[in-house]
Amino acid sequence: MTATLQLALVLLAMGFSQGKQHNYLDQVDQLDAEAEIELSAGPSKFGSLWPLPQKVEISGVSFKLAGVSFKITDAKQSSAGQSCSLLQDAYRRYYDYLFAGAKRQEPGKGRQRLGGPAGLSELQVLITSPDSGCDGYPSVKSDESYELKVDQPYAVLKAPTVWGALHGLETFSQLVYEDEYGAKSINSTTISDFPRFAHRGILLDSSRHFLPIKVILANLETMAMNKFNVFHWHIVDDQSFPYMSRTFPQLSQQGAYHPYTHVYTPADVKMVIEFGRLRGIRVVPEFDTPGHTQSWGKGQPDLLTPCYSGSKPSGSFGPVNPILNTTYEFMTWFFKEISTVFPDAYVHLGGDEVDFSCWKSNPDIQKFMAEQGFGQDYSKLESFYIQKLLDIVATTQKGYMIWQEVFDNGVKLKADTVVNVWINNAANNELGKVTAAGFPTILSAPWYLDYISYGQDWQRYYKVEPLSFNGTEAQKKLVIGGEACLWGEYVDATNLTPRLWPRASAVAERLWSAKDVTDVNDAYNRLSVHRCRMVERGIPAQPLFSSYCPHEYKGI
Amino acid sequence: MTATLQLALVLLAMGFSQGKQHNYLDQVDQLDAEAEIELSAGPSKFGSLWPLPQKVEISGVSFKLAGVSFKITDAKQSSAGQSCSLLQDAYRRYYDYLFAGAKRQEPGKGRQRLGGPAGLSELQVLITSPDSGCDGYPSVKSDESYELKVDQPYAVLKAPTVWGALHGLETFSQLVYEDEYGAKSINSTTISDFPRFAHRGILLDSSRHFLPIKVILANLETMAMNKFNVFHWHIVDDQSFPYMSRTFPQLSQQGAYHPYTHVYTPADVKMVIEFGRLRGIRVVPEFDTPGHTQSWGKGQPDLLTPCYSGSKPSGSFGPVNPILNTTYEFMTWFFKEISTVFPDAYVHLGGDEVDFSCWKSNPDIQKFMAEQGFGQDYSKLESFYIQKLLDIVATTQKGYMIWQEVFDNGVKLKADTVVNVWINNAANNELGKVTAAGFPTILSAPWYLDYISYGQDWQRYYKVEPLSFNGTEAQKKLVIGGEACLWGEYVDATNLTPRLWPRASAVAERLWSAKDVTDVNDAYNRLSVHRCRMVERGIPAQPLFSSYCPHEYKGI
């Protein structure tokens, strides 16, 4: 039996049954206009690699890996060695994924050492750049490339920085499979890999529902399995303010769903950031203003605009009050704190969906509008506020990301401001405009994963081409990536993880792999096995279609 | 503070925040034509009762329950006492739900006994019928009614049979809440309750994905929390045959996804049945033929029709071969086994979606059609098969349920055959026809919960009125209930439970509560707390909308 055939059989054994679908589909009210492709199941020549590396050569020669003796080691010339706890931690993590349950033994002790002529006993990791990045944080400029050569006597993973090495370790783990006797095997392979886009994010929303830290960490872990590198933490919103501020503790004391059980303490936030860092993931917090701030108002008097009903305050409140000095004093202190708590070079400032009706009702605001000569154009007032906010945040040495409305309203932006395109009906047009104005941009619009529908919607996410808009090469270079967004109206700890995975995996491959990786059928075959791997690693990633995993999820 | 106010505060504290919804809803491609009702959140005067009992009176007087001393006991006159392990088991279960974590102590030992003038120390359970049902199985004719009186010195739950008592225990547990000091409290209450429909089912599909026993049991447990009483186990289908038959072990040996890890052993099946019985739930297995049988063919040669391509067999197979005597011999032995393994009075025989193309291609079938004088009407061949199958099953003393096509095709049916209406575009018409012909029927059509969509689709399920079709009172009496169906194409252990609950809870109330219980707003308020109760009991029931539970789900 050839090694290639072995691989094929193993993949087959992992189970693809694409039987006829119940044809009661007729009765679905809301079928996709765009029909999903009929997929034929079978092993991909790329095994279960996900996202697909830029260059892959897998030979038919296979080696066995022995859990008792296999080692991941630092190459002698590596610029990051034993002292790099980020790497040592990753070695342990991937050893565990590779040999879950198997007990490591010192060679010579007890059982005979496997390996021998057809065994692979070691993966050497070589960081080549003098600045390995080990003790720092990943950034949009990080070099995430790596090269992986699996051959005897040992495999070598070479990367300029630890960030590339982390991706390479994941790739290595994806190359390992079980032969028909359950022996861990890997084929002789050469991979050269780097991401197509630098910013590959997941947005989670911890305001509409509080997400326990355990859930956030599990999803960071899963992000790493999919080579995502940005956690866009939409941490607060109208519904609740779970961020515990040292400067303004009343914000969560009054604004969280519960001041003790439904908050993120400074220690929690630190843990999320460090857990992400160890996996090459940036944590970009979003503090969205001036809209989406109802929960802020509970613990910060006078921050929000009092709405009027006729000539009297109605008792309800609108967006942040843009006409008071106290507002800007608050923002100065608040974002000073944020800039120290979150190490990333960027903070997301929101700026979307500002409702003008409350501002319009308030006589003080009306007077201010007149004084400023804004007429009845409340978007000018919005810009006035945002302009001042951006100036405040600029003093903290942070870059900022904003939702597209801020750009649309003509606010003056720093050149490195990242514009987040989210409105789906004219996203290509918007990408054209934003990049024509010279701003870097990230695309979220086609990837609102909170919108669920019957069937294999991952295919729709997969088929998006972020650079299909009309624009010059220079414009296209400004599209630095995209984000899959899982807004929180209908998700919490009970259903977030299976709803996000593997649907977000489709976005992961689109943002990482080469532009021409568009074979949905091949993607289905790799993704099916990739999702079973996530399940085997304890993540309840939901199924793509009728089939099974060798090891089903153990929870309920 | 009055007791009623206390209750209100507690419910408020359980958290309803219905903030403004992100209005990016514009960009959802597939919005419901029928807009969902805007709901206002707040406590219901019926607390968190779900499904709502037929008659409820809750007074403002509250009592405290002390975990250390509270007892659920058999009333002296009860026809089912200490020897009824079903009840004793239920007492333990509900004690645990009521006082999770609290340690029971003998009165007098250690801490002071709570209770006293404002305490409730006991729930007495009184089974009034000489035949309590304790050692039997529930049936469609079981009396599920109960009366519950919560008052001092003790509460009394009175029911003709244990089946009603089980529902009453659930209701009692739903009346208990925590006051602001965390003390378990219950208000003086009088309830008289019975189900509107006798058959209240959940269909789960263990063929398209294998469902580990743990998942099935967790959902039976949740069914009991929602007063469902039928588990319609769609156990095999085209994709896999996980049922391990003693008579034909090759069926699962060859037809399961995996012959050891993805099968239900006789012991597993027994466990499911007993777990269900202890919760008043019938287990009705479905063995669907002649279509949906691809997996049967793997372990039973000649069972399926060989399809032809021109004049030669193509190598693929169609529905069960209806022209061979061996087919009927097989079915005789197979259903003889099924009739002994599954104690319920009914077995579901499927009969839906028979594809005629393979039969048409086969020359032997063509010849048989001619001999029988069926012309080109293959539905006559289908009826020929089903007729013989029904005769076989009738000899096992089982009643049968069938999907509506069997009725539509004019197959002669026993008078007690239950017709399962599932095609949604003319369900009312079908209900009219089936009941006009005098057959009992259950409605599944509007409750295909595998069809997911963005938003609060539970409201759509909730608004269904099963008796809205045109028909006489006698016809309407023939509608014995309904089922929520969660077909398995896109669900397995990773996502089944949150996808089913609380969406199926909407169906539960429709099938249990009085016809005029249609206030969606009140339902929202009760269901929100009911879903948090399911979460607290360890079930990952997903959220209805932005909000929180005091105790969020502990898993991922």
Q: What is the mean pLDDT of residues B22-43?
A: 53
Round the average pLDDT of chain B to a whole number and report it: 91
The residue of chain B with its CA nearest to that of A453 is B453
Q: What is the mean pLDDT of residues B128-148?
A: 97
Residue A193 is predicted with a pLDDT of: 98
Using pLDDT thresholds of 50, 70 and 90, give the confidence band for residue B39. confident
The DSSP 8-state label assigned to residue B492 in this structure reads S
**Are A116 and A60 a contacting pair, CB within 8 Å?**
no
- Residue A545: which of B33, B490, B495 has the nearest Cβ? B490
Of the residues B353, B371, B473, B552, only one is catalytic, namely B353
Of the residues A329, A353, A465, A552, only one is catalytic, namely A353
Query: For residue range B84-111, what is the model confidence (pLDDT) as tens digits?
Result: 999 999 999 999 999 985 544 444 444 4
H/E stretch holding B150 reads: strand B146-150
> CA A434, CA A379: separation in Å to the nearest integer?
18
Residue A117 is predicted with a pLDDT of: 57
Residue A524 or residue B410, greater confidence: A524
pLDDT less than 50: residues of chain A: 1-35, 103-115
Instruction: Reply yes or no on whether the pLDDT at B454 is more than 50.
Output: yes
Q: Do B422 and A257 touch (CB under 8 A)?
A: no
Which token pair is B256? 């399961």
| 0.95 surpassed by pTM | no
Using pLDDT thresholds of 50, 70 and 90, give the confidence band for residue B29. very low
> CA A249, CA A246: separation in Å to the nearest integer?
6
Neighbouring residues of B546: CB distance < 8 A, sequence distance ≥ 6: A208, A209, A239, A488, A489, B17, B18, B19, B21
Which residues of chain A lie closer than 8 angstroms to B19, CB-CB? Answer: 208, 237-239, 294
Query: For residue range A219-277, what is the model confidence (pLDDT) as tens digits?
Result: 999 999 999 999 999 999 999 999 999 999 999 999 999 999 999 999 999 999 999 99
The residue of chain A with its CA nearest to that of B542 is A494
Using pLDDT thresholds of 50, 70 and 90, give the confidence band for residue B81. confident
Q: Do B552 and A19 touch (CB under 8 A)?
A: no
Residue B1 is predicted with a pLDDT of: 33
- Residue A543: which of B238, B490, B542 has the nearest Cβ? B490
Q: Do B552 and A493 touch (CB under 8 A)?
A: yes
B174 closest CA partner among B182, B184, B164: B184
The DSSP 8-state label assigned to residue A185 in this structure reads E
Q: From the candidates B225, B264, B546, B554, which should be mutated to test the interface with A, based on the most A CB atoms within 10 A?
A: B546
Which residues of chain B lie closer than 8 angstroms to A26, CB-CB? Answer: 425
Which token pair is B102? 């609290």
What is the per-residue DSSP string for B181-200? TS-EEEEEEEEEE--S-SEE
CA separation, residue A239 to residues A7, A210, A234, A275, A494 (Å): 50, 10, 12, 27, 19
Q: Do B451 and A454 touch (CB under 8 A)?
A: yes
Instruction: Reply yes or no on whether the pLDDT at B40 is more than 80.
Output: no
Residue A42 is predicted with a pLDDT of: 86
Q: Do A353 and B24 touch (CB under 8 A)?
A: yes
The residue of chain A with its CA nearest to that of B488 is A546
Residue A548 or residue B113, greater confidence: A548
Residue A81 is predicted with a pLDDT of: 85
Which residues of chain A lie closer than 8 angstroms to B554, CB-CB? Answer: 212, 214, 493
Residue owning tokens 């269901």: B527
Q: Which residues face A243 on adjacent strands? A: A264
> CA B11, CA B43: separation in Å to the nearest integer?
6
Q: Do B425 and A26 touch (CB under 8 A)?
A: yes
**Are B179 and B10 a contacting pair, CB within 8 Å?**
yes
- Residue B546: which of A239, A498, A539 has the nearest Cβ? A239
3-class DSSP assignment, residue B178: strand
Residue B13 is predicted with a pLDDT of: 41
Query: For residue range B523-549, what is the model confidence (pLDDT) as tens digits?
Result: 999 999 999 999 999 999 999 999 999
- Residue B209: which of A240, A488, A546 has the nearest Cβ? A546
Query: For residue range B151-198, what is the model confidence (pLDDT) as tens digits?
Result: 998 999 999 999 999 999 999 999 999 988 889 999 999 999 999 999
B353 is catalytic: yes
Please report, rounded to a whole number, the percentage of residues in chain B having pLDDT higher than 70.
Answer: 90
- Residue B494: which of A210, A239, A535 has the nearest Cβ? A535
Which residues of chain A lie closer than 8 angstroms to B555, CB-CB? Answer: 493-494, 555
Q: From the candidates B452, B492, B544, which should be mutated to test the interface with A, based on the most A CB atoms within 10 A?
A: B492
Q: First vs last Cα of chain B: how many Å apart?
A: 39
Q: What is the mean pLDDT of residues B487-503?
A: 98
Using pLDDT thresholds of 50, 70 and 90, give the confidence band for residue B280. very high
The residue of chain A with its CA nearest to that of B551 is A261
A102-116, A190-204, B271-285, B373-387: least confidently modelled range: A102-116
Q: Do A490 and B542 touch (CB under 8 A)?
A: yes
Q: What is the mean pLDDT of residues B471-485?
A: 98
The residue of chain A with its CA nearest to that of B425 is A27
Which residues of chain B lie closer than 8 angstroms to A455, CB-CB? Answer: 490
> CA A26, CA A455: separation in Å to the nearest integer?
13
Q: Is B258 exposed, middle or buried (0-12, 13-18, 19+ CB in 10 A)?
A: middle
> CA A533, CA A178: separation in Å to the nearest integer?
12
Q: How many CB pairs under 8 A join A and B?
A: 206
Q: Do B540 and A495 touch (CB under 8 A)?
A: yes
Q: Do A553 and B489 touch (CB under 8 A)?
A: no
The residue of chain A with its CA nearest to that of B20 is A238
> CA B232, CA A252: separation in Å to the nearest integer?
47
